[in-house]
Amino acid sequence: MKKWILLSITTLVFTYFLMHLFYGNRGFFTYSTLQKEVQDLKDNLSVLKVEEKNLNHRVSLLRPKTFDLDLLEEYVHKKLVFLDQDEYILNKNKL
């Protein structure tokens, strides 16, 4: 009888720790989920870095020493919808 109780308690404790090993807050499945999330965030970061680089380049073109009139014209066309009589705007999102 004592052996059966000891075996039951040992089995329950082992099962408890085994379940936490796989499904706990720091378990195997949680770790793999977090690794996937970290990889997704790294991918997102690389996309954002490229976007930041492009925006920094566009800002540098608007500085007084390297002022780009074509960029200014593009901005005016886009934001203020200022056009000459013979010009048209094609919105690629609506095509």
Inside any domain, residue 85? no
74 is in which domain, residue-wise?
2-80
* Angle between helices 28-61 and 2-23 in degrees, nearest 10: 10
Inside any domain, residue 51? yes
Q: Return the pLDDT at 65.
A: 80
Q: Return the pLDDT at 86.
A: 80
How would you class 77 by CB atoms within 10 Å of its CB: exposed for 0-12, middle for 13-18, buried for 19 or more? Answer: middle
Into how many domains does the chain fold? 1
Instruction: Write down the pTM of the prediction.
Output: 0.55
How many other C-beta atoms are found inside a 10 Å radius of the C-beta of residue 67?
10
Inside any domain, residue 30? yes
- Give tens-digit pLDDT for 46-80: 999 999 999 998 888 888 887 878 888 777 777 87
Inside any domain, residue 94? no
Inside any domain, residue 72? yes
Q: Return the pLDDT at 24.
A: 85
Say whether pLDDT at 90 is over 60. Answer: yes
